[in-house]
Structure 1
């Protein structure tokens, strides 16, 4: 083998394993291949199609920290799947109907006095969210007052005698108040019924307030650098799935109880019995999801369907996928729930109804502010315009936010620390961006001094620090393939960090422009250029743009 394959430098056998050492000739040829291929790590189109659903917000409030993790996971997975050859359809289903948006609508109608986002100067989705918060505050005040009444005390004593957990007790107790004693609750239910019966005034208000929210969402998506290929709305899909229930009954997948409700028995799969149609003929969420899944497959014809949804919905998706499998849907084997853990700030879990939600926009602004402060501490970059400086700061700040989120395995809970995210030291986006900026500076000098890189192929004594980088570059396509297969952007993020660390070691240990020979200089500059190219590609898969200077 060594005699006939020039790429094999030497071999040995240890405990029955044959170990081969790759020759410098192989690595020289490999470097030339990478250097000449700006698409290194990407695969050609494979004719396969995948849908990735992410974000899917409610329209009663702005996007929050949890949405940021969802969006960045969905976007980076989409980019990674595209890199390995898939045609990717990025979708979201917007939860634009129901009790929550009716609360915002009722609150604005009762207390808004005709105010608008334009008249108040408030970002449109935040404007609508403020009315939702106000509703919850008014509702809490109403609930607190009701608890002092004799009727409330009587119900409390009656309920207390039931054998329930404290959590279930108070949930049922408050639900009884909301459904039977709350004036605001009655008005919300009345508004929802008007919406369902297509009352013109209610529909007009609904469209107006949702329109405000969509304007705000679009601004946030633009700030995050994400977009969608196809939008679905719950108001268009909430009645879907009833025909699937009939199909399931005829196939024996579902069964009907005496009260007329329809169920599926999944106890043999380690789950339980699940209602798919209420006794009054109305659907539940699982029914809508069944119908939406079927509709999407008819529209899109994808091989895979990926749902990016928090791990609180793990059981829901287990049930959904099992039902579709039992119904014999041809796409059932290609369904995947990309489940992710809770994201918190160091100060604790996010809240919504109390008005202390960690809004996505506020978090983006905070990270950009911290990036600007870090930059100011390091001093101004010479010869750069104000516009270029702002663009660089945006790239560093957004890179910090995105990388800090996606570097964590999706299934793990995480704490997002804004101060740590912008640090130039450690496992951060700016650390990797700084490596790229260093390399970019080298390449500008190469161009300015017209350095001849053609002698790189004559370099014959590859150093350990150089080989370490070459081995890492060699692994990049496999990392991308694995990340696509496992729907795990953290693999790409950690690869980029490790590559940047190796480059810092190379930079520190070896002379580049002052190398001993022209061949070594050309080789190290070519290697640097290839590292920069792969860092830019890898971070690009995560939605991170590289600054030219820092």
Structure 2
């Protein structure tokens, strides 16, 4: 694996310390290297404070000794300056000339890639009784971005989705359709399939509340009324009939789920979600039963007098967990253990990343512990990518139950805002009608994705549609505009990328800052992928766009002093555009060629 420039500096600085102070046994892991702060001279800084006491050296004297050694022994460095315990090193212009002439983005990413692992990323996991909502959007965008980043970092990635297509919640929509649907279809109603079925889920809740109120008026307690309401009893019976395979129930279940899947597919296509494999709970809910017996034999599980089977996790800081009911039926954790085994058998995965909301933190701690105690393959590779709830400043944009924000409504609203902003700023010249539709979708969806990804996943967040699309803020719109601006500059300069007849004699500070950031991309991507953190890539891309804007304002391309300088700056601009496009593509965001 080829080392980044920062890592090369670290290796060489470690070597210098070892040569100057062989008795100290200084290791590479002990040496910290950062990018030099802009108010000081230099490109990279070696932090020497950890060694001052052990080496009994004055910080400045130590820095000067190490700096002089590096400049004398390595052509990579041209100057050094010590400020307190910080050694600031200047990188030779010749290095940057070589970087500009030979750098190929795909080659740099391959060179940084580590040993390949098989990684499964599971995301989305919708229920088939309602449409995708705002929380699903954050889930999908995280899953897509993490899968893309891992793949770009060299991993062999499998993208999966588990659809919750069975259970009492599904039966609620089915009963409501039987009662109120009058044999209607989504096509007849002119409603998207998932919304159509979701509306009947709402109708169930409304009718259930009405019946509860009626029973309570007759003197029944509320909890009893909830269970005794005719619509709930019919739903429970339907679930029994489904599990027994009653033909007319199975037929209705397949028909209504089919409507939902058509709706999901439309939404997935709009937001760019794809899966290599979709698992259905109706096919997996019986998995894991054999593992309970295996766990009993191994002493991992124990059986109570009533016949129920449990695991005691109190020694692990948790509690006792049921894995099989006394009637022999499995619970969710049992199904998930079985499915984990199934996935590993099918794909031979080393790691399994579950993109699931933070309300399931406990569940996934238990899942990993049980898999480890059973000695299941790749149990150590289970990782819960937990994320917080997303809300809107108003609490909702459009809701069917007063709390849920539909994904389709939100996407449509973002596209509308993109159109409104673009038209208001007068930036529609040079586009035909079809191009404008594409541009609005690109800006609107890009703003939505970036805003939901820029925050660390574990944090709860408030999504502000207007703020997310601000041309001057920490947004995809800002970065998209920078990319379009660069492409315009390159078109006007008739850049071909073929003229490499230049050398670098003296870089301006803005040029140097841009080059340093460009060189860091492959390493940042690796680090972001390992941390499953798309937010780091958002930060990198935004800073790169900012650095380019500063560079472009201070270092004229069209009015460069020489043709060689012009070609050098055009190449820097082209690298920037390519890097922005690549980084945003990993986040699932497209960039326009003009804007």
Task: State the TM-score, normalized to the length of structure 1.
Answer: 0.92
In 2, Cα distance between equivalents of 1:420 and 1:380: 19
Q: Is the 8 A contact 2:396 2:403 kept in 1?
A: no
Q: Is 1:40–1:534's contact at 8 Å kept on the other side of the alignment?
A: no
Q: Paired residue for 1:120?
A: 189
Match of 2:125 among 47, 56, 62: 56
Structure scoring higher RCO (CA < 8 A, sep ≥ 6) equals 1
Shift of 1:412: 0.6
* Count of aligned pairs between the two proteins: 525
CA 1:244–1:397: 2 relative to 1, 3 Å: same
Report the aligned-residue RMSD.
1.8
Structure 1 residues 374, 3: closer, same or farther in 2, change over 3 A?
Answer: same
Distance in 2 between the 1:15 and 1:365 partners?
A: 55
TM-fit CA distance, 1:547: 0.8
The question of whether the paired residues in 1 share the 8 Å contact of 2:398 and 2:409 is answered with no
- The secondary structure found in structure 2 opposite 1:315 is helix
Q: Give the corresponding residue for 1:368.
A: 415
Q: Supply the distance in 1 between the matched residues of 2:329 and 2:396 (Cα, whole angstroms).
A: 35
Shift of 1:8: 1.3
CA distance in 1: counterparts of 2:403 and 2:380, whole angstroms: 41
Which one of the candidate residues 138, 163, 176 is aligned to 1:94? 163
Distance 1:251 1:474 in 2: 52
Measured in 1, the distance between the counterparts of 2:482 and 2:308 equals 62
* Residue 291 (structure 1) aligns with: 338
- The Cα offsets for residues 166-220 of structure 1, whole Å up to 9 and x where unpaired, read as xxxxxxx53x3333x2111100001001100000000000000000000000000
Instruction: Provide the secondary structure at the position in 1 that maps to 2:220.
Output: helix
1:188 aligns with 2:257: no
Matched, 1:394 2:441: yes
Matched, 1:143 2:212: yes
- What runs of 5+ residues in structure 2 fail to find an aligned partner? 1-69
> How far apart in 1 are the matches of 2:86 and 2:550?
31
* Stretch deviating more after TM superposition (390-399 or 526-535): 390-399
> Which structure 2 residues correspond to residues 73-472 of structure 1 after superposition, within 5 A?
73-152=142-221, 174=223, 176-179=224-227, 181-348=228-395, 354=401, 356-447=403-494, 453-455=499-501, 457-472=502-517
Aligned to 2:574: 529
Q: Is the 8 A contact 1:453 1:526 kept in 2?
A: no
Matches of 2:138 and 2:372 in 1, distance apart? 29
Separation in 2 of the partners of 1:356 and 1:464? 51
**Deviations along 1:319-345, whole A, 9 cap, x unmatched?**
110111111112111110000001001
The match for 2:47 is: none
The whole-number CA distance in structure 1 between the counterparts of 2:396 and 2:350 is: 37
Query: Equivalent residue for 1:158?
Result: none
Alpha-carbon contact 2:308-2:326 (below 8 Å) kept = yes
User: What secondary structure does 1:282 align onto?
Assistant: coil
Of the three residues 537, 551, 554, the one matched with 1:509 is: 554
8 A Cα contact 2:396 2:405, kept in partner:
no
Contact 1:452 1:522 in 2 (8 A): no
Give unmatched runs, 5+ long, in structure 1. 153-172
Kept in 2: contact 1:240–1:291 (CA 8 A): yes
> What is the CA distance between 1:301 and its match in structure 2?
0.6
Contact 2:113-2:526 at 8 Å conserved across structures: no
Aligned counterparts of 2:532 and 2:299: Cα–Cα separation in 1: 34
8 Å Cα contact 2:483/2:577 also seen in 1: yes
Offset of residue 423 of structure 1: 1.2
